[in-house]
């Protein structure tokens, strides 16, 4: 039986005692030897060192095991690991760090076993995966095709069954493009959620550590360990109170897709077919699709190749000045161009980006996520050699804007070409919405029924869903009167960042009163007998805005627990006992009552 390295099966094998970390290390060493010169690794830990660590983990009592006990992983070689050199795929730049990056320390402390450091586009400059003096990692699906970059080695290591997960980085798509080329999950978290201390910067203000995994559940489990505020990282951000990665997918949601005129596939039918199938799966999962104007996102993406190139150039100023010949020719060309950008150009671009953020912000009041192809098309190694800059730019069409607009994203497998080459799609949402994105992405990956990476193994059985609860950054609130869509106070919800989620109906245990006052509004009163089901809506409100909403609620109304249809508890508007008003229960809801009065 082939050993699967997905966390579910590997964890179950450890729990049952049928496999040990020692067994896993030996199997991985065998697989690496069998793969031959695949250009995946820049450096690896010695076999005896790995076996000694595996023996120590095996000897641990069950009560002392961490959440990633015995899980093998790899690290992109622009992330520091104590005891191994950091090269960023440039031997002249190499140094030996005294300490591992905090993200690596978190993973090892949780019981994960570091196998080695992986190849990349030099200094994480590229989406193609071919700009390295250590060679081009061999795509496990077709050696004539690109592996995707810049986190090429990390993606190929996971797809090839050499590790369970791998760390990459993602500034412009380096954690999502290789996922698409290797049939993987590529999780690009909210900027600052994972510390970038100990990471060789590309564009420091945009850089993210990303996660390649076989399943969404695996990526989410790794993120739960890897995330954490780091005061030493000036761009680190603490997750808001109540932030949770483990969430149930919403039963109903609305998602956006680029309007057909904005969808570019470069004549490649596979990404287009995979995208269309993913849209259908999202609808089947409870989604309502909306075609959106993609132009602001495309314009934001184009800004990356303007003044933000200067940020990359600044990070590489020393090596560019002292050892220019050590740079890959394309990398040297890109870095050199960045020095021509001026401060005025940067400020103009920052102002334009701020305007684009304002233009796109209203979308998140009604959309749970934006669904896009992970890449518009795939490229062979020969095509990239003939047009390296043009191919790279095309690969960033659906990725480059994400960090500039402070969005979270997760790429998932979607299907294959007739020749068996993979393609995928990406879910994108606001910062700190990583949990809901993962919840929906997990269902979509499962419904696509794609195998795990290039292993040919089926996905593991689904884990039990987490408890249903409202989590930050959003709190769902059931509304039944003046806050309904189109009613007098609905603008208040929108101004506070509220987003419509779905219609709802209470359990048949309420009466509705029309309350007196300048603003017509109803009151929902719980009763033991003679109640009815009342129609309403569920809105999602940023947790930080809850106090402002409460401050504007006049008695006898307040917020409390409402029982919705099916006896599902929800947070919503409710009326104090003893309130006086016209009984309008028979109308079944505020809108029906208002329509009858017009």
The CATH number assigned to the domain holding 438 equals 3.90.1300.10
Strand order across the 510-515 sheet: 521-526, 510-515, 582-583
**Residue showing tokens 């987490």:** 466
| Domain-located, residue 468 | no
The reported pLDDT for the residue numbered 306 is 85
Q: How far apart are the first and last CA of the chain?
A: 71
| Domain-located, residue 460 | no
Residues 36 and 140 in one domain: yes
Residues 432 and 487 in one domain: no
- What is the pLDDT averaged over residues 292-316? 92
The reported pLDDT for the residue numbered 25 is 98
Where a domain ends, among 410, 431, 448? 448
What tokens appear for 525 in the block? 């009163």
577 pLDDT band, cuts 50/70/90, is confident
- What is the pLDDT averaged over residues 410-418? 97
Give yes or no for residue 213 having a pLDDT over 80.
yes
Residues 311 and 385 in one domain: yes
145 pLDDT band, cuts 50/70/90, is very high
Q: What angle do CA 62, 68, 74 make, to 5 degrees?
A: 140
63: annotated active-site residue: no
Q: CA 227, 448, 162, 144: dihedral to nearest 10 degrees?
A: -120
What tokens appear for 539 in the block? 């809105």
pLDDT tens readout for residues 338-359: 898 888 989 999 999 999 999 9
Where a domain ends, among 433, 448, 463? 448
487 pLDDT band, cuts 50/70/90, is confident
Judge whether 341 and 309 are in contact, CB under 8 Å: yes
Q: Is 413 left (phi over 0), alpha (psi -120 to 50) or beta?
A: beta
Residues 300 and 405 in one domain: yes
- What is the pLDDT averaged over residues 358-369? 91
**Residue showing tokens 């795990």:** 452
Mean pLDDT of the chain: 94
The reported pLDDT for the residue numbered 469 is 56
Q: Which domain holds residue 337?
A: 7-238+245-448
154: annotated active-site residue: no
What tokens appear for 145 in the block? 């095709």
The reported pLDDT for the residue numbered 470 is 52
DSSP state of 190: P
Residues 482 and 440 in one domain: no
Residues 439 and 508 in one domain: no
User: b or e along 208-221 (b: 16 or more beta carbons within 10 Å of the residue's beta carbon)?
Assistant: bbbbbbbbbbbbbb
Give yes or no for residue 529 having a pLDDT over 60.
yes
Q: Which of 100, 132, 150, 195 is catalytic?
A: 150
Q: How many domains does the chain have?
A: 2
Residues making up the chain, counted from first to last: 598
The reported pLDDT for the residue numbered 475 is 86
Residues 403 and 501 in one domain: no
Give yes or no for residue 446 having a pLDDT over 90.
yes
Give yes or no for residue 285 having a pLDDT over 80.
yes
Where a domain ends, among 448, 483, 499? 448
What tokens appear for 367 in the block? 């959309």
Residues 310 and 276 in one domain: yes
Judge whether 207 and 199 are in contact, CB under 8 Å: yes
Give yes or no for residue 241 having a pLDDT over 80.
no
Measured CA to CA, the distance from residue 373 to residue 491 in angstroms comes to 33
117: annotated active-site residue: no
CATH code of residue 562: 3.10.490.10
Residues 430 and 334 in one domain: yes
CB proximity list for 182: less than 8 A, separation 6 or greater = 139, 140, 141, 147, 148, 155, 156, 158, 159, 212, 422, 453, 454
Report phi then psi at 569, rounded to 5.
-70, 145
| Domain-located, residue 438 | yes
| Domain-located, residue 457 | no
Give yes or no for residue 298 having a pLDDT over 70.
yes
Q: Which of 4, 151, 154, 174 is catalytic?
A: 174
The reported pLDDT for the residue numbered 472 is 58
Name which of 67, 159, 68 is nearest 113 in CA terms: 68
Percent of the chain with pLDDT over 70: 98
pTM confidence score: 0.85
pLDDT tens readout for residues 20-49: 999 999 999 999 999 999 999 999 999 999
Q: Poorest-confidence range of 95-104, 166-175, 238-247, 259-268?
A: 238-247
| Domain-located, residue 453 | no
pLDDT tens readout for residues 384-411: 999 999 999 999 999 999 999 999 999 9
Give yes or no for residue 474 having a pLDDT over 80.
no
Residues 345 and 486 in one domain: no
Q: What angle do CA 549, 439, 500 make, to 5 degrees?
A: 30
543 pLDDT band, cuts 50/70/90, is confident
The reported pLDDT for the residue numbered 598 is 76
Give yes or no for residue 556 having a pLDDT over 70.
yes
Residues 544 and 412 in one domain: no
Residues 210 and 172 in one domain: yes
Q: Poorest-confidence range of 60-74, 279-293, 517-531, 541-555?
A: 541-555
The reported pLDDT for the residue numbered 546 is 84
CB proximity list for 212: less than 8 A, separation 6 or greater = 151, 154, 155, 158, 165, 166, 167, 168, 175, 178, 179, 182, 184, 185, 186, 219
The reported pLDDT for the residue numbered 468 is 59
CB proximity list for 377: less than 8 A, separation 6 or greater = 265, 266, 267, 268, 271, 394
């Amino acid at each position: 039986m082939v050993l699967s390295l997905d966390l579910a099966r590997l964890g179950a094998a450890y729990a049952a005692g049928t496999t040990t970390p020692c067994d896993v290390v030996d199997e991985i060493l065998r697989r690496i030897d069998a793969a031959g010169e695949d250009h995946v690794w820049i450096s690896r830990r010695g076999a005896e060192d790995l076996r000694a660590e595996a023996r120590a983990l095996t000897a641990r009592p069950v009560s002392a095991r961490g959440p990633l006990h015995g899980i093998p992983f790899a690290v992109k070689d622009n992330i520091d690991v104590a005891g191994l050199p950091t090269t960023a795929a440039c031997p002249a730049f190499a140094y030996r760090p005294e300490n591992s990056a905090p993200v690596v320390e978190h993973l090892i402390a949780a019981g994960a076993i570091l196998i080695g450091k992986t190849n990349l586009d030099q200094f994480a400059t590229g989406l193609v995966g071919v700009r390295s003096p250590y060679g081009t990692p061999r795509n496990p699906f077709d050696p004539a095709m690109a592996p995707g970059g810049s986190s090429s080695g990390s993606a190929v290591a996971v797809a090839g069954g050499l590790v369970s997960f791998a760390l990459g980085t993602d500034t412009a798509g380096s954690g999502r493009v290789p996922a698409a080329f290797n049939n993987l999950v590529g999780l690009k978290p909210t900027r600052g959620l994972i510390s970038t201390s100990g990471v060789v910067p590309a564009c420091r203000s945009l850089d993210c550590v990303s996660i390649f995994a076989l399943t969404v559940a695996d990526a989410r489990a790794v993120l739960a360990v890897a995330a954490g505020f780091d005061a030493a990282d000036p761009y680190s951000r603490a997750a808001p109170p109540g932030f949770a990665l483990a969430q149930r997918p919403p039963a109903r949601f609305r998602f956006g897709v680029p309007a057909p005129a904005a969808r570019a596939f470069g004549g490649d039918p596979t990404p287009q077919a995979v995208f269309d199938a993913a849209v259908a799966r999202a609808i089947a999962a409870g989604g309502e699709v909306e075609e959106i104007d993609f132009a602001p996102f495309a314009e934001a993406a184009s800004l990356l190749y303007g003044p933000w190139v200067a940020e990359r150039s600044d990070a590489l100023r020393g090596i560019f000045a002292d050892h220019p010949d050590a740079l890959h020719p394309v990398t040297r060309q890109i870095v050199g161009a960045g020095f021509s950008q001026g401060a005025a150009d940067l400020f103009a671009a920052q102002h334009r980006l701020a305007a684009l953020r304002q233009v796109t912000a209203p979308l998140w009041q009604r959309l749970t996520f934006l669904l896009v192809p992970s890449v518009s098309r795939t490229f062979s190694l020969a095509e990239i050699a003939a047009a390296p800059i043009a191919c790279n730019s095309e690969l960033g069409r659906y990725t480059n804007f994400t960090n500039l607009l402070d969005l979270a994203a997760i790429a998932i497998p979607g299907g294959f070409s007739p020749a068996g080459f993979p393609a995928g799609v990406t879910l994108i949402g606001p910062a700190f919405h990583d949990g809901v994105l993962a919840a929906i992405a997990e269902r979509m990956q499962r419904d696509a029924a794609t195998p795990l990476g290039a292993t040919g193994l089926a996905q593991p059985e689904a884990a039990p869903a987490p408890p249903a609860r409202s989590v930050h950054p959003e709190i769902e609130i059931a509304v039944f009167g003046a806050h309904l869509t189109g009613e007098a106070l609905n603008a208040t919800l929108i101004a506070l960042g509220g987003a419509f989620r779905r219609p709802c109906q209470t359990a048949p245990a309420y009466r509705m009163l029309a309350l007196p006052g300048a603003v017509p509004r109803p009151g929902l009163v719980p009763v033991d007998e003679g109640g009815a089901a009342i129609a309403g809506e569920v809105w999602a409100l940023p947790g930080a805005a809850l106090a402002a909403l409460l401050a504007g609620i006049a008695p006898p109304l307040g917020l409390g627990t409402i029982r919705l249809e099916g006896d599902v508890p929800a947070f919503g508007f409710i009326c104090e006992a003893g309130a006086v008003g016209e009984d309008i229960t028979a109308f079944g809801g505020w809108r029906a009552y208002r329509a009858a009065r017009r």
